[in-house]
């Protein structure tokens, strides 16, 4: 297929797609005019039934918690896939570059401004991530968002040139375990609903006072479990990429 | 629709087109990070803060970072 034919085919189908899109946009309800019972029901029931002030988190970790379990499993599969793809191959060898291996010596081409900023932001990033995980049922965010933020703390460590040091001190085993522990924890909280409640993922814990940190029953527990899983998963993927880039050399 | 929402939509259209038209992978990775951020702002001004947080964390940081690290590995291997 020549370039001209390809462009002609694209233009024809592109125009068709545009026409269909514009047609379908015409049928959308106006902004803020939601049609359909489910959203209104969730909005009306979130506070009285679950004592939670964030309807989205309530849907994710309670009303539709089973879907989140599936998403958790998808993330787990993706992380395992990355680990398999990025494993150290037979003709590769784990060996830090000499300048990274020598302790206390700095790589010259990272400016001290970036290093200082990176190191200074590690603490605030971790606090922000923990805050978002812990306040899942109160404010926007939850285990997933907070977990990704927590995992990016690892990136800041890398930016501030401390990755090799971190690797030597070694929370890597912890990171590898966190993904599995988080996913298993989420599934087991569901089983607990089966034991102490009447169905899988039933919110069996006392709901507490609306607006406090320990309210909404199992929702904060689920948020923390997902937070641990996502932190572990993303940090593991990042560290695998960093290992491949910084440490593994082809002999 | 408010001015802010129209501005966010236009910004997404411009940055999205720029990302698609960029051919150099390194620049495209940086632009895709900007695109993730702009998309996060769009979700935020359309009153979806939960999605905006996810979008910003994944689209503006995690995904471009993995592309960058993969690029670094590919280029390091070619050297």
Of A2-16, A70-84, A194-208, give the range with the top mean pLDDT. A2-16
How long is chain B? 79
What pLDDT shows up at residue A84?
84
| Per-domain boundaries in chain A | 36-250
Nearest CB neighbour to A242, from listed B1, B51, B69: B69
What pLDDT shows up at residue A114?
81
Nearest CB neighbour to A148, from listed B1, B62, B70: B62
Q: What average pLDDT does range A35-43 have in this prediction?
A: 83
pLDDT < 50: residue spans in chain B: 78-79
- Closest residue of chain B to A137, computed from CA coordinates: B50
The answer to whether A155 contacts B52, with C-beta atoms less than 8 Å apart, is no
Does the pLDDT value for residue A109 go beyond 70? no
Helix (H) or strand (E) run with residue B54 in it: helix B49-55
Give the integer Cα–Cα distance in Å for A104 and A102: 6
- Closest residue of chain A to B78, computed from CA coordinates: A250
- Closest residue of chain B to A246, computed from CA coordinates: B73
Q: What average pLDDT does range A110-114 have in this prediction?
A: 78
| Per-domain boundaries in chain B | 3-78
| In the block, residue with structure tokens 């700095």 | A106
The answer to whether B65 contacts A140, with C-beta atoms less than 8 Å apart, is no
Q: What average pLDDT does range A168-183 have in this prediction?
A: 78
pTM above 0.80, yes or no: no
Does the pLDDT value for residue A108 go beyond 80? no
Contact (Cβ atoms closer than 8 angstroms) between residue A201 and residue A65: yes
Question: Could you tell me which of A67, A46, A72, A52 has the C-alpha nearest to residue A219?
Answer: A52
Q: Facing residues of A92 across strands?
A: A250
The answer to whether B50 contacts A132, with C-beta atoms less than 8 Å apart, is no
The conformation of residue B57, written as its DSSP 8-state character, comes to I
What pLDDT shows up at residue B16?
92
What pLDDT shows up at residue A191?
84
């Amino acid at each position: 297929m020549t370039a001209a034919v390809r462009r002609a085919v694209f233009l024809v189908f592109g125009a068709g797609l545009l026409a269909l899109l514009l047609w379908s946009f015409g049928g959308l309800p106006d902004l803020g005019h939601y049609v359909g019972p489910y959203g209104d029901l969730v909005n009306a029931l979130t506070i009285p039934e679950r004592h939670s002030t964030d309807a989205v988190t309530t849907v994710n970790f309670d009303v539709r918690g089973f879907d989140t379990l599936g998403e958790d499993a998808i993330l787990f599969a993706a992380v395992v896939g990355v680990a398999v793809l990025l494993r150290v191959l037979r003709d590769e060898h784990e060996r830090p570059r000499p300048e990274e291996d020598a302790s206390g010596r700095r790589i010259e081409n990272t400016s001290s401004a970036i290093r200082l900023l990176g190191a200074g932001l590690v603490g605030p990033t971790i606090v922000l991530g923990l805050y978002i995980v812990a306040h899942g049922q109160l404010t926007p965010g939850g285990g997933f968002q907070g977990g990704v933020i927590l995992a990016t703390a690892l990136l800041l460590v890398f930016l501030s040139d401390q990755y090799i040091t971190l690797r030597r001190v070694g929370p890597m085993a912890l990171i590898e375990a966190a993904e599995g522990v988080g996913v298993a924890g989420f599934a087991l909280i569901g089983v607990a609903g089966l034991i102490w409640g009447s169905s899988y993922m039933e919110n069996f814990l006392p709901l507490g006072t609306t607006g406090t940190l320990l309210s909404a029953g199992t929702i904060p527990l689920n948020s923390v479990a997902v937070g641990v899983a996502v932190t572990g998963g993303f940090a593991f993927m990042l560290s695998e990429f960093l290992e491949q880039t910084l440490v593994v050399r082809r002999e | 629709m408010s001015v802010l929402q129209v501005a966010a939509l236009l910004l997404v259209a411009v940055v999205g087109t720029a990302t698609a038209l960029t051919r150099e992978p390194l620049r495209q990775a940086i632009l895709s990070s900007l695109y993730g951020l702009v998309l996060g702002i769009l979700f935020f001004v359309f009153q979806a803060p939960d999605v905006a947080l996810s979008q910003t964390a994944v689209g503006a940081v995690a995904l471009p970072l993995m592309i960058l690290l993969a690029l670094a590995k590919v280029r390091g291997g070619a050297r």
